[in-house]
Amino acid sequence: MKIAAVQMVSTPDVDRNLQAASRLVAEAASKGAGLVVLPEYFCLMGRRDDDKLRVAEAAGDGPIQQTLSEAARRHGVWLVGGTLPLRSANAAQALNSCHVWAPDGSPAARYDKIHLFAFDNGRESYDEGRVLQAGSTPVALQAGALRVGLSICYDLRFPELYRSLMSPPCDLICVPAAFTYTTGRAHWELLLRARAVENQCYVIASAQGGTHENGRRTWGHSMVVDPWGEVLAVLPEGEGVVMADFDPARLAEVRTQLPALAHRRQFAC
């Protein structure tokens, strides 16, 4: 199966972003992708953090979810819909939620981001917890022949989440993200390759990549990494599609030659 990571430079305009996402999903499907992943916040990079609350949708309803469901059905792909803001019980906060649609357009899974990003180096500062409510449950799904684990951006720094997704082992881990330029330059590829190597699986990372209308600059470098930690494809910056082949023989080869997953031990501290 061909898998595709969509990279975007999203704007404060939901309609424009949905049009761009639809076009890029169509491009990936036309090149043979069977699974397509959009980036975090693909539908909105607002001017203010609380812009997310303005466009937040109810679970299972709304133009963002409808657009993605229709795209999955139209192109017959598994579509990992990056993230969208979902209403929570607290009106002052939303969930940063990753939805997956099956090739017939039906909902297949939903994961709410567990780890909320906070960063302050004196020049840049972010705190997602101001307007987002953290999720609590790891999620994996069966997407055709592939077992797929879901994660979002800052989750990448917490290897215990990925270990929880490996019982049974995932074949592919998805990481929609909007890494800042500063943190991405330092750690993005390092962390993606580490997650691939330690879990002996493919990793597909779809990123925001460029300077946005709100002035924020994101790192980009959407990529696909194989179970040996080799980067198969990457797009440094700008809008586009990154594609690679998911090779089950390569996955089996790595796990057979170096059966690290079978050698794991549980420790009580």
Could you tell me if residue 269 is inside a domain?
A: no
Number of domains in the chain: 1
Pairing of strands 231-235, 222-225: antiparallel
Question: Is 139:155 a contact under the CB 8 Å cutoff?
Answer: no
Q: Which of 40, 57, 128, 237 is the catalytic position?
A: 40
- As a whole number of angstroms, the distance between CA 269 and CA 138 comes to 22
The confidence score (pLDDT) of residue 73 equals 98
Could you tell me if residue 268 is inside a domain?
A: no
The confidence score (pLDDT) of residue 126 equals 77
Could you tell me if residue 47 is inside a domain?
A: yes
The confidence score (pLDDT) of residue 80 equals 98
Decide if 31 is catalytic: no
In this structure, how many other beta carbons lie within 10 angstroms of the beta carbon of residue 76? 12
Could you tell me if residue 157 is inside a domain?
A: yes
Could you tell me if residue 74 is inside a domain?
A: yes
Distances (CA, A) of 164 to 14, 131, 167, 204, 258: 34, 27, 6, 18, 20
The confidence score (pLDDT) of residue 265 equals 87
Length of the chain in residues, anyone? 269
Q: Which of 52, 57, 128, 153 is the catalytic position?
A: 153
Which residues on neighbouring strands pair with residue 225, listed in sequence order?
Answer: 203, 231
The confidence score (pLDDT) of residue 199 equals 98
Opening angle at CA 220, ends 254 and 243, nearest 5 = 45
Taking the model in full, what pTM does it have? 0.96
- As a whole number of angstroms, the distance between CA 26 and CA 107 comes to 19
The angle that helices 14-30 and 63-75 make with each other, rounded to 10 degrees, is 10
The enclosing domain of 23 has a CATH number of 3.60.110.10
Residue with structure tokens 């953290």?
A: 134
The confidence score (pLDDT) of residue 250 equals 98
Distances (CA, A) of 209 to 21, 33, 149, 192, 264: 14, 21, 23, 16, 36
- As a whole number of angstroms, the distance between CA 50 and CA 39 comes to 19
Q: Which amino acid is at 26?
A: A
Structural domain containing residue 53:
2-263
The confidence score (pLDDT) of residue 220 equals 98
Decide if 128 is catalytic: no
- As a whole number of angstroms, the distance between CA 156 and CA 242 comes to 19
**Residue ranges in the chain modelled with pLDDT below 70:** none
Q: Which of 113, 128, 174, 237 is the catalytic position?
A: 113
Could you tell me if residue 59 is inside a domain?
A: yes
The confidence score (pLDDT) of residue 119 equals 82
Question: Is 4:232 a contact under the CB 8 Å cutoff?
Answer: no
Q: In which element (H, E) is residue 162 found?
A: helix 159-164
- As a whole number of angstroms, the distance between CA 218 and CA 254 comes to 33
Distance linking the first and last C-alpha atoms of the chain: 41
Decide if 27 is catalytic: no
